[in-house]
Structure 1
Amino acid sequence: MALVACADPVDATGDTVFTYAELDTEARRVAAGLQRELAPGSRVLVRAEGAEFVRGFLGCLYAGMVAVPLPPISDNRRHRERMAAVVADTQADVVLVSAEDRQRIADRTRDTGLEAARPLALTEMELPAAEDWKDPSAGTSDIAFIQYTSGSTSRPKGVPVSHGNILGNAAHSMRMTGATRADRWGGWLPMHHDFGLVYQLLTPLVMGASTALMDASAFLRRPYSWLRLIHRCGITVSGGPNFAYDLCCRTVTDEQMAGVDLSSWSSAVNGSEPISAAVMARFAERFAPFGLRPAAMTAGYGLAEGTVCVTLSPPRVPPTVTRVDAVRLSRDEFVPVGPDAGVEARMLVGCGPAHTDEFDLRIVDPASLRVRADGEVGEIWLRGPSVVQGYWQREEESRESFDATTAEGEGGFLRTGDLGVVHEGQLYITGRIKEVLVVNGRNLYPHDIEEVARESHPALSTGVGAAFTAFSLDGAEQVVLVHEYQSTDRGETALAEAVSRIRARVAAEFAVALPGVILVRRGQVRRTSSGKIQRAGTRQAWLEGALRVLHQDLSEPLTRLLARHRTASEPGEMTRR
């Protein structure tokens, strides 16, 4: 068996099952149908779920065409703008859809760009016989699909992943996971995300294992359904972002877990966003009574530009967790401390070995470009077979990001924008230098949040804001917005109303919470001489109490972080430590 597409993760009645022979036949038929319509190398949008997505996606690859997975269509304005940007960027003429979605998509294509792409429903097409398929003789350097970066920006970047990238990263993932062809992969991760597409679908298929897929929306509606899928399909390898494990801890009841056995689950991968040691520990403890072994918990680091998987913590042992000084870490200093050190600490999770066969990794000072020693924080640079060649149709950005050279003269590196440190052979992720916020596995762009906030209230319309993240002392990443407020009414009621409107608009546009909102006087948001917002500088000024604050509304974890940081910054504190 190659694939199980589960209509209902709890009930096997609606499952669609494919052997490798059946999957191969279906892919050839879809490819033959596409070859009748389009030239080799054409970009084909794929907007479907489950079995229909797999048939369409593999058919594109068999046809020698470039698949472009799309997320579900939403009524959200920014989502539609982003969709239109993807369609325009790829210049795709065709979108593959499921039959039930074809009319729905036709009714909802306004402002998405999809009105220019002809919808083809595979179940309604008269597909040719598999024997009509013509081998396109694709090479390892040919593009298999374009993965568009997830997030809120209206200008998403396309990451063109080659057949060679897929093959190399699949083999790498198998080695890092310790999996064999006897393992069964699966889960809920969406196919328009690299974690779902490459790690959950393509890796097991490339390596001759099997996978079981469920709809991401089913997990979000019923988090326990993920765990029930693992039980009924005997899944051994499954993963998700940190928020998924936290959601299960907070919402899944013993009644929902009745009869569930998780003892098959040998690799529970946590990746795609900052990893909380506390969440991993809670998840292991919460579901231990249902057969989950602590050693199944796995931490990982990856990114679309590296196909997906860069490193994973070793299989069958719990990830390494290191206690570090939280305040020093906020200054990009990695200082391990003991439990009796008398300082506030953050628990950092080791994401796996820093040096592997697939990736050549360096930690580099982002300013001087000098390679940093073990134990020193810097930007993570990568090169290797899994690193893609650049961004789709973006030569200048590709040169900047994919052809970096260290001060020592080593070249050809991808600058990830992520900050990390190598400690005792393990890679730890400490933050980011690029201006992108990762929330619930999604990339959100600060300028988008700032724009929405500015539009939410008249007193914010002529000022500027700075959105950034701060790691609370329990390791959770919290989104913070500092925004200038200009009005003669500075009473508490008016200020609180402005905060409420900001949060409501941001939640409506991006479906995320804002744990920290700080309203400041005009001119308090840090900017360069040319007017560019300095988000890192504003963040530091806020932490150090250097902003003229009118009103701030913070979550309890952020309040603790702020108090601890300012206490540690008092004269004599560094000397005492």
Structure 2
Amino acid sequence: MITDFFTWTGQPSTTRGIHRAVADGWQLTTYEELRDRARSLAERLLDSGIGPGDVVSIIEPKVDDFLAAFFAVLLAGATPNPIAPPFPLQGADSYRRQLVRLLGVARPATVYAPAEYESLLEPVLDDIPRLDHRIGPVRTTDFPQCGPTDIGLLQFTSGSSGTPKAVRVPLASLQANIADIFEWLSVGPDDHIATWLPAYHDMGLIGCLLAPTVAGLEIDAMAPIEFLQEPQKWLSCFGTRTATIGAAPNFALSYLLAKVDGAALAEMDFGRWHALVVGAERIDPAVLRRFATEFGPYGFRSTAICPAYGLAEATLAVSGVGPRDPVEVITVEPGSQQITGPFDLMTAPLTDGRTWLVGCGRPVGTVSVHVGEESPGTGESIGELCVTGPNVALGYRTAAGDTDLARDAVGSLATGDAVALVDNAVYPIGRIGDAVKIRATTVYAEDVEAAVVNATGVPSNRVVALAGTADGRPQIAILLETADLDMEIVDTVVRAHVGGDDARIRFFHADSGLIERTTSGKPRRRRMWQRLIDGELDRLEMGAPAGSEA
């Protein structure tokens, strides 16, 4: 497969391209049209004095216009910096405040945005020029182009809805990771991508847009809000159109199971669905199995599910289960850290009360992994995952300047994620920073959260667990955006998971707005923890269930 970022611009297809969802179907922008728009914008950038070393921030909700701007920046030799457009119902003042912080980090030479954002952006941009959609004839094809060692992407991390931090990704790292992804998913020239993931984060940007574009594959693209409003339209890309590869976080599978009924599925045939990449957050094995079971009668194969682990600091993908390979799960005993398994997802006893971890496969392509602390002689290890490979980025850009990535003693990227490594397959456990020691045992917030979900059936997006130390004592907080729970069961489950009363356990409830999330939908645990210890959540605290001890 072609992975060079500019080869596709030589003789782009006049029939293939990006099919953007519109009210009455799909609107095609061919790769030839995309190339011409990118060249025209690149020429305007060069005429404006923009070139190598400069950053161009892109705020664009329409995927075809976004891609034209992204490649225009690369053709001009500059660095593209995607920024999230305003969310539906988001207040103008709130968006402007965050945009000021983002632009303060990116320090762009110009900003690309649609004309309809002019009144929103004008108070913020001040003296930063804005490059709009106007295109014209191209006078040259001799563009500087971003080089392999140049920064090909300034990518804000998913936590940048708080204190912004952007990852500096060289173009060579983008190309290497895309090549690894093609190998991992066995991507061929006839594959067809369907996506609704946001273009301003790594999974949607690199895996679902940049990779298929440089390979000239067909793309069906929806906006995230369109997926939430009409999830069956995304499914129809696989069931009635020709899409073969898609990606989604765990919550989206739960959402599809809740929103799409048998009547909508009856007209669909998922026999061509080659790979469903699942990542971006802790994966619930029960959701995977239910999805495979309920969609199986319509041609979906359980082996098409490809759990994956990655992070922006490693460009995108680190490990993944390959198409046609079974998904495997394990359990880890909290006290002894003894690993049991792996078991096949489809036959494992998931309802036996233990916490099950989903295997996210072995390292892709040129990537290698290890953990900081190993269990000698067992072939298994538990600890912080460290990553090595050409996909690893250079470092961060913050408001204070550029910094390097955290690395271990041998120079590998230290991810901050705890994993079990079994036969070189990665089983994510949780963020090390979202854990607390209780009786010499590390308790991860994600494990507590999963235990509550498994015991009560509460939707995973309605509960978040926080873990840390406050006033010298371990503390666990459960934040709930639902009142329809038996709190005695919740209390019992949490206490059993953390090992008794050594930790202070608190419960908080609000109908909405209690759980803060990043722009990619992940819980902002550190921000919520800070609000907790500052007392901002006290008014929402629920009384301890009868018989429990606060």
Q: TM-score range by the shorter chain?
A: 0.7 to 0.9
Check 1:121–1:569 CA distance in 2 against 1; reply closer, same or farther (3 A cut): same
What does residue 387 of structure 1 align with?
A: 392
Q: Within 5 A, what are the aligned runs for 1:146-157? A: 146-151=154-159, 153-157=161-165
Cα deviation, residue 72, structure 1: 1.8
What does residue 539 of structure 2 align with?
A: none
Query: Aligned match of 1:60 in 53, 56, 73?
Result: 73
1:50 maps onto 2:63 in alignment:
yes
Letter in 2 for 1:538: Q
Distance 2:431 2:327 in 1: 22
Check 1:233–1:146 CA distance in 2 against 1; reply closer, same or farther (3 A cut): farther
Cα deviation, residue 432, structure 1: 1.2
Query: Aligned match of 1:108 in 120, 137, 159?
Result: 120
Check 1:273–1:475 CA distance in 2 against 1; reply closer, same or farther (3 A cut): farther
Distance 2:167 2:425 in 1: 27
Letter in 2 for 1:263: G
Q: Within 5 A, what are the aligned runs for 1:35-434? A: 35-40=46-51, 41-48=53-60, 49-73=62-86, 74-75=90-91, 79-98=95-114, 102-103=115-116, 105-109=117-121, 113-122=124-133, 125=134, 127-151=135-159, 153-325=161-333, 327-328=334-335, 334-336=339-341, 344-354=353-363, 356-365=364-373, 374-393=379-398, 398-399=403-404, 401-402=405-406, 404-406=407-409, 410=410, 412-434=411-433
What does residue 28 of structure 2 align with?
A: 16
1:479-499 residue CA offsets vs partner (Å, 9 max, x unmatched): xxxxxxxxxxxxxxxxxxxxx
Query: Aligned match of 2:475 in 514, 538, 543?
Result: 538
Letter in 2 for 1:419: A
Distance 1:249 1:554 in 2: 24
Letter in 1 for 2:475: T
Helix, strand or coil at the partner of 1:268: strand
Contact 2:240 2:267 in 1 (8 A): no
Letter in 2 for 1:90: A
Check 1:476–1:132 CA distance in 2 against 1; reply closer, same or farther (3 A cut): farther
Distance 1:23 1:564 in 2: 56
Cα deviation, residue 324, structure 1: 4.0
Distance 1:214 1:176 in 2: 25
Contact 1:78 1:154 in 2 (8 A): no
Distance 2:230 2:393 in 1: 36
Check 1:288–1:129 CA distance in 2 against 1; reply closer, same or farther (3 A cut): same
Contact 1:359 1:384 in 2 (8 A): yes
Check 1:201–1:554 CA distance in 2 against 1; reply closer, same or farther (3 A cut): farther
Cα deviation, residue 159, structure 1: 0.8
Distance 2:399 2:338 in 1: 34
Number of equivalenced pairs? 461
Check 1:149–1:473 CA distance in 2 against 1; reply closer, same or farther (3 A cut): closer
Contact 1:235 1:264 in 2 (8 A): yes
Identity of aligned residues (%): 25
Check 1:233–1:177 CA distance in 2 against 1; reply closer, same or farther (3 A cut): same
Cα deviation, residue 374, structure 1: 3.8
Contact 1:44 1:94 in 2 (8 A): yes
1:294-321 residue CA offsets vs partner (Å, 9 max, x unmatched): 1111100011111101111021123112
Check 1:375–1:516 CA distance in 2 against 1; reply closer, same or farther (3 A cut): closer
Helix, strand or coil at the partner of 2:263: coil
Check 1:555–1:47 CA distance in 2 against 1; reply closer, same or farther (3 A cut): farther
Contact 2:227 2:234 in 1 (8 A): yes
Distance 1:249 1:178 in 2: 27
What does residue 533 of structure 2 align with?
A: none
Distance 1:28 1:281 in 2: 46
Normalized per residue, which structure has more helix? 1
CA RMSD of aligned residues (A): 3.6
Check 1:374–1:472 CA distance in 2 against 1; reply closer, same or farther (3 A cut): farther
Structure 1: gaps (5+ residues) = 437-466, 479-510, 519-523, 529-533, 544-552, 571-577
What does residue 458 of structure 1 align with?
A: none
1:3 maps onto 2:17 in alignment:
yes
Contact 1:363 1:371 in 2 (8 A): no
Distance 1:285 1:423 in 2: 26
Distance 2:359 2:245 in 1: 19
Distance 1:431 1:197 in 2: 24
Contact 1:313 1:353 in 2 (8 A): yes
TM-score, normalised to structure 2, is 0.75
1:565 maps onto 2:497 in alignment:
yes
Distance 2:381 2:401 in 1: 30
Letter in 2 for 1:349: V
Check 1:109–1:555 CA distance in 2 against 1; reply closer, same or farther (3 A cut): farther
Contact 1:27 1:58 in 2 (8 A): yes
Helix, strand or coil at the partner of 1:247: helix
Structure 2: gaps (5+ residues) = 1-14, 436-443, 479-484, 503-550
Cα deviation, residue 64, structure 1: 1.0
What does residue 43 of structure 2 align with?
A: 32
Helix, strand or coil at the partner of 1:212: strand
What does residue 489 of structure 1 align with?
A: none
Letter in 2 for 1:26: R
Contact 1:374 1:421 in 2 (8 A): no
1:381-408 residue CA offsets vs partner (Å, 9 max, x unmatched): 1121000011125799844x34x233xx
Distance 2:401 2:131 in 1: 35
Does 378-387 or 420-429 show the bigger shift? 420-429
Helix, strand or coil at the partner of 2:207: helix
Distance 1:341 1:54 in 2: 42
Distance 1:555 1:226 in 2: 37
Contact 1:364 1:378 in 2 (8 A): yes
Cα deviation, residue 119, structure 1: 3.2
Helix, strand or coil at the partner of 2:433: coil
Distance 2:71 2:377 in 1: 42
1:221-242 residue CA offsets vs partner (Å, 9 max, x unmatched): 2222210223343111101111
